[in-house]
Amino acid sequence: MLHAMHDVLYHQYDLQKYDHLDFPGVVPRTFIGAIFISCLASPVVLILQLLRLPKIYGLIAVRLVLGCIILSTLRFFRIQVRRKFGPQVEAFFVVLTASEFHLLFYCTRPLPNILAMGLVILAYAFWMKGSYLATLRCLTFATVVFRCDILLLLGPIGLELLMTKSVSLWKAMKCCIITALTGTVLSLLLDSILWQKIIWPEFEVFWFNSILNRSSEWGTHSFHWYFSSALPRSLLVSYPLCLLGVLIDRRIIRYFLPVFSFVLLYSKLPHKELRFIIGSVPIFNLSAALSASRIYNNRNKSIWKWLYLIMMGSLLVSLGCSVITFMASYDNYPGGHALKVLHQMGPNTNKFTEQWVHIDSYAAMNGVSRFCENNLPWRYSKEEGIRLEEFRHRNFTYLLNEHPNIEGFKCLFAVNAFSKAHLQVKLPPIILLKEPKVFIHGNFRSQEISNTDWPGCP
């Protein structure tokens, strides 16, 4: 999706230059979200181009636009929390959400999951507001356009609305069918043009993940992983508080159970990632905010006083964990840093001699995007399937590779990235350890490389 935004902004109608035609990925993705974000960011990108600033500022622009959209949906949700549960619960919801790392981190990640999450948060807000058909529209559109797995959330929420007689079966079916047809036709028309074949991306994703069950090729986790690992890491102190909230405030049950069912149903798929269920976090945080509000109101009572002290201490621990996670994530994009170093130290004198850079899969997945690329003399390749011994027979000037030694190339620079956290008995109690993850290699046959003073590799 990130490369789609780049191509829409910088290549526009020249479809032959679009990255997805050469590197389509495992499954196709819709361009609807990328075009929407790019249109909003285009005035800023136009100014950047007029000022001749590097494209990396365009990356910042699109991520800021996406972040603002997601934060706007969270604001709308927060307003509905205040309407239904009061300003104190709203305040605790904000504090708990701000103390967590993953939700805010994902807000600016250009992924289909995040665009779907924006619609899911809108659905939650309409749900609490009493606009039930709007809730179904948001979830249905998110399902057919961005993430077919939102169907696992649409089902439980739709069932809850029917069981509580919030909507009639006929109105719900009519609303969902019209929205699904609208979203499907829009995706078919737009994506068939850009993919240059008749395609409905989310149907192919559904077929690949659910029918063929091939997503497990990218790793599997146990059934309980979301509950034993993903949610505790993302919610932190909110995890025990959200479970307590169901017990002490019955108002949250109608919202909590469908979202809990969504995570439970998703747990049956072997391949698991936190981003798949990140849309469940706001409801869990709301349940936790209800617990925190009740504990705060009763903090002067004997037993509740201890709960209050434990809650405040846990909140401080959560903040500390979020800070540590932020520091680790800051050093977790060695590919992008390596390309930046290469541009800074690489040759800039002869603009007519092409400098071919090969970027391997590891570097591409860890910070390298087309927003990081420079103009001539730099040229880039992400060709896959090249064996290490074949590189010496190719005409690449530089390699960004996860392997420290490659025949025919000299290791010029190593980029360190986060490896693990280490506990110690002195201050600071936790230190983050790094190790070389991406290496810049230079071709021995290049005269310009031998004339450049590189620091070398460890």
- Residues 277-310 have pLDDT tens digits of 999 999 999 999 999 999 999 988 888 889 999 9
User: Do 18 and 12 meet the contact criterion of CB atoms below 8 Å apart?
Assistant: no
> d(Cα 231, Cα 226) in Å, to the nearest integer?
6
**Beta-strand runs (E) in 10-156:** none
Instruction: Note the pTM of the prediction, 2 decimals.
Output: 0.90
DSSP 230: I
Half-sphere exposure of 413 (CA within 13 A, CB side): 22
Q: For residues 420 and 431, give the distance between their C-alpha atoms in angstroms, rounded to a whole number.
A: 9
Q: What is the gyration radius of the CA atoms in the chain, in angstroms? A: 25
- Which pLDDT does position 12 carry in this prediction? 86
pLDDT over 90 (residue 126): yes
d(CA 90, CA 87): 5
Residues 6+ apart with CB under 8 A from 268: 223
Whether the pLDDT of residue 94 is over 70: the answer is: yes
Read off the pLDDT band of 352 (50, 70, 90). low
Burial of 88 (0-12, 13-18, 19+ CB in 10 A): middle
Q: Is residue 11 very low, low, confident or very high in pLDDT (cuts 50, 70, 90)?
A: confident
For 167-196, how does the pLDDT look when each residue is reduced to its tens digit (9 = 90+)?
999 999 999 999 999 999 999 999 999 988
For residue 50, CA distances in Å to 47, 53, 59, 297 come to 5, 8, 16, 56
Structure tokens belonging to residue 302: 């004997």
What is the rounded CA–CA span in Å between residue 138 and residue 379? 42
- Here the tokens at position 64 are 């800021």
In the numeric block, the tokens 């909110």 are attached to 238
Token pair of 438 as six digits: 């991406």
Closest CA to 432 of 417, 451, 413: 417
Q: What percent of the chain clears pLDDT 70, i.e. is strictly above it?
A: 98
Report the half-sphere exposure of 255 (CA within 13 A, side-chain side).
34
Residue 345 confidence (pLDDT): 80
